Structure formats: structure tokens, C-alpha cells
Amino acid sequence: MTANRTTAEVVLGQPSFDASRAHVTPTFLSVVATLILSGIVIAMFPLRYETNDDVGMHLTAAGVFYGVEPSEHLVFTNIALGYPLSRLYRLAPDVPWYGLYHILAVTGSAIAINALLLSISRSHKLWALLSLHFFAAIAPCLISIQFTKSAFLATEAGLLTLLAPWFLEKSVSRYWIVAGIPLMLLGAAIRFDAFLLALIAMAPIVVWAAWQRSFRLWKPVVVPLLASLVCCGLLQSAHQAYYAASPGWRDFYEFNQYRHQIVTRNAPLQYVEKTKLIMDAVGWSPADYLMLKNWFCSDTNIFSTAKLQQFARGIAQLESGHDSLGQVLKRLHPSIATVCLLACIAAFQLILHGWPARLIAAGAFVFSTLLAVAISATTQYMPDRVLYCLFLPSVLMGVLAAGKEVTAPNAAILKPRPWAGLIAALIAVTFAAAAWIDQARVRHDLEDNAAAALDHIKLRSDVIFVDWGGAFQTQLFVHPLGSLDALRPVRCISLGWGLRSPISDSRMRELGIEDLPQALLTREDIVLVCFRGMLEILAQYLCEHEEAEAIDIGFIHQGDERVFGSVVRIRRAEQRISP
């Protein structure tokens, strides 16, 4: 009787699911399970954008608020995705295409990962780990949509799918290749930087999968993998060629390259003798630098590309020394989702009962940690979304190692300790879910207050809003699956990453604005939305460059700046400000 028992029966002491009798494929099971789990997440948590970057790309693709018409120029995302999105918005402007494509990308990636896991084993333990991986690693990408996370997850899923012959230790259907290459292309198209980061972060999984595999399985993996990398490289080259063909966009990318180096510094430069020499060399005052640091750089003479390049190089030479380890670690601020991942990684040391598997999982964690420290040290910038992505392969490594243990010929009956680890990880996910629910409640209150603030301001199509520093808080009004009707009549200029782009220039021409600071001082139909702490910098800047002895600031709206920035009119001191 024992000889006829399956591996899962030996491991768990329970009957396993017999797929040969049910004729159910791992892919079908993965689709059903992923859709059920995704439905639970979407039903429990309202979907939101994590940053204003996605909000800006959503509005740009839709041609609302910041743009004149739907545009394929999403800046961070490849034109291969931007073009069809803009055309879809022209055909059906009321459908939230941008949010839908991210949801489909995350869900499709989860289906691919789950299909591989279920092809390795369908034991109860693997089902539990699959659910744990979904809620710890996939759910945060749905709840808080962010294009870096979507790109990383799609690349991870595509690479894992192409490695299927090594994990399953046999030749696989061509459908794995048909799924893997498009997922890799999708990750590269959403954000190429995140695609490259995912390839590096997945290195431990690739090395582990390749270790001691038979020679006959190298060709089914290496050829499709190389083909996908070549295709991704060509896709990025085509994207760059498309933008390079337009002088406006070519100049914008060059300008933005140096602006990013300056803006992403953790703290403003102190105006001391060394930095004064660098500012004097480009003709900037401290107010000019702080305006650039806060994204107000519309003047092409003061903030020319050549000056930004010279300034960025000067600062790089000034900071040629290395940060201390303490400074590097201070930049690592894990969110609730990242802490949940770390708890799951720790739990895998209990779940895995073989020392080789534990060392493999621990090695993946150490590699991710060193990579995070290296990025923080070299870029002086580490947003949590990147930190979160770096630890996704570590959790996946733990799940894969556990799956291989279940199917091992000498698998032992599962002891209490692995179950304790699994329960500990599930508790961590539960606490994270409770925190997400609490955050959703707070976010809902902020959105209600933001709606009340808009009602108080009474948005009108004859008023032009200048959104400085994201003070308009568009992420409280734009949701992945929400309507844009409230923002369609609003005319706005954004002083963000899109400033100085052809889209922004076209918007200003449409609104009759040639000199933005001058327009702020003279036109009655233009108001500024900003945080109160920025007004002193703006006043100093205008006094220096607009020949004003003093600046008067008239407040139209003041409130909770977590909800909506202050709405003000700016005038020279000798001018009277109308209410």
C-alpha cells in the first residue's frame, strides 16, 4: 500500500490531488486560483496609485488635466505601450485603460508564477505557500499600483517561466516560451530600469536553477532567454529612436537626466564656500537652486541644460567621497509591505527543513540586502518601492525551495517546525492586511476631505491652476479604475517631471503663457497650488528675477495640506490682489 502512495501523501500523510484523473492542467488551476485570490484582494482593498508618477502617466495617456489630447509620450514607459493606450483613450475615453493594463500585467504575472509552482507540486503545503506568496508579494502590487513594481513583477514572472525546464527537470511545452517572452517584453516596456534591476535581483534563482542540470536542458532555456533579451534590447532601442527623432523630446530627456541627479538628493545643499563656487559658476543664487530642487524650473535661460550639466558634475566632484554605512542604511525605510516580505523570508528558515534549502534561501536574502545597500550607496536614493522589489526574489526563492523539498524522493513526513514557520508567515501577512485596511480607511477620509476642498475652491474652466510640487494631490482624485469626469474641465500646468516636455510646452501655448513666472504675477485667471513652505522660496526667486521689490501673496484656500495645497495668487507688492 505504501508503494502506491504519492509524494504528497508521504510528506503530509494526506491524499494528494490526482491531476491525471481530473485532467486539470497546472495552468488552468493557476488561472482559477489567481483570479479568486485577486478578486478577494480587489474586494477587500480599494485600488490606489502609490505615487503621482502613475497619476501623471494616466492623465497624460487620457489627455486630461495636464494635456491637450491623449498622448503616447508617457516618458517612463515605452512607446510600444503608450501608443496603444493613447489610441484606446481616443476610442473609449471613459474606460480606465491605464489602470486596467496594470491590473492585467500584475494578474498575468501571478498566473505565470503560480502555474510553475503548481507544475512542481500540488501538495497542500505548496497550495499554502502559493497563497502566502500571493498575499505577501502580489497583493501589494494590486492594492498600491506603481509602474516600477509592475515592471519588476512581469520581468520576474517572464524569467521564471523561461527557466521552467530547469525547475521541472524536463522539456516543456512551447506555450511556456509563448508566455515567457511576452512577459519579459512587458516588463521592459513598462519600465526598462526596473527590468534591468529584476534581471540582477533574480541572479540567485537563475544560478540555483542552472546548477547541476543536464546538458540537454540548456538549449530549451538559453535560446529563448537570449532571444527575449535581444527583443527587449531592440524594444528599448526603438523607444529611444522614437524620442530622438523629435528635437523637443530629445532635449527634454537630456535636460531631465541632469535634473534627476540634482532633484533626487536626499537633502538640499548647504550654501557654504564650496557650494557657492559651484552655484556662482552657473549664475545661480540659493533661491534658484531651491526652485530647481522643488521642480520649478520653467525658465530655459536660468535652468538651461548646459547649466544643469555643469552643476551636476560640480556636485559629483564635491561628493566624491563615500557615505558611511550608517548614512546608507538610513535611506532604507521599509514600508508595511516590505516588512511583511522580510517576515516571510525569516519564516522560511523554519518552513524549510533541509540545510541546503535554508542556505539557498538565506543566500538570496543576503544578495538582495547587499544589492539594496549598493544601490543606496551609489545613487544616494532608495524609495521603498525599489526596496520592496529587491526582496521579491528572496520570497520566491523560499517558495521554490520548499516546492523542491516536497517533491524530493526522500522527503520526510512534515514535522511541526515547518508548520510553525508557515503559521508565523501567515500571521505577518494578517497583520499587514490589518495595517492596509487601516491605511485604506485613512486614505478614504483624506479623499473625502479632498473632495470637500475642491467643492470649496469651485473648480472652473476659466481658471488655470499651476500645480507645484504635487500640491494638487491628484492621487486622491485619480484612481486606477475611477472616472476622470471631475478633472476633464480643469485646465492645469504641472511643475513636475513633465515640465519642459513638448506636452507641457503645448499646454502653455494653448493657454497663452510664454513666461510662467511673469504670468503668475500679472494674469488674474492663473492661480498657484503649492505647499505653504514653498512660498518664501518663490517670493525670493521672483524678487531676484522679475524686478519686484516685494511680493504679496493672497490666499484663496488654506487647509490640510495632506489633502490639498494652498491656493494663492501672486502679485508684486504695489499691485492689489483681487479675492
246 three-state secondary structure? coil
Residue 470 · residue 563 · CB < 8 Å: no
Kindly list the distances between the CA atom of residue 167 and the CA atoms of 121, 163, 184, 301, in Å, as whole numbers in the listed order: 11, 7, 18, 58
How confident is the model at residue 4, as a pLDDT?
A: 44
> How many angstroms separate the CA atoms of 198 and 166, rounded?
19
Residue 211 · residue 254 · CB < 8 Å: no
- Grid cell of 55 as nine digits: 497619476
What value does the CA radius of gyration of the chain take, rounded to a whole number of Å? 26
> How many angstroms separate the CA atoms of 381 and 374, rounded?
11
Beta pairing partners, 569: 554
Q: For residue 288, how many other CB atoms are within 10 A of its CB? A: 24
> How many angstroms separate the CA atoms of 28 and 14, rounded?
23
Write the secondary structure of 254-307 as one string of H (helix), E (strand) and C (coil). HHHHHHHHHHCCCCCCCCCHHHHHHHHHHCCCHHHHHHHHCCCCCCCCCCCHHH
- Show the low-confidence residues of the chain (pLDDT under 70): 1-23, 212-216, 265-268, 319-329, 380, 405-419, 421, 458-461, 574-579
- How many secondary structure helices (H) and strands (E) does the chain include? 26, 7
CB < 8 Å & 24+ apart, contacts of 261-264: 261/312, 261/315, 261/316, 262/292, 262/293, 262/308, 262/311, 262/312, 262/315, 263/292, 263/293, 263/295, 264/379, 264/380, 264/381
DSSP-assigned states of every residue in 89-149: HHH-TTS-HHHHHHHHHHHHHHHHHHHHHHHH--SHHHHHHHHHHIIIIIHHHHHEE-HHH
Q: Which amino acid is it at 386?
A: V
- Of 191, 178, 203, the closest CA to residue 82 belongs to 191
How confident is the model at residue 375, as a pLDDT?
A: 85
pLDDT in tens, 62-102: 988 877 789 999 989 999 999 999 999 999 999 999 999 99
Q: Which amino acid is it at 424?
A: A
The DSSP code for 353 is: -
Kindly list the distances between the CA atom of residue 178 and the CA atoms of 119, 184, 189, 206, 219, in Å, as whole numbers in the listed order: 17, 11, 17, 19, 16
pLDDT in tens, 315-343: 877 765 566 666 666 777 777 888 888 88
- Residue 412 makes CB contacts below 8 A (sequence gap 6+) with 11, 353
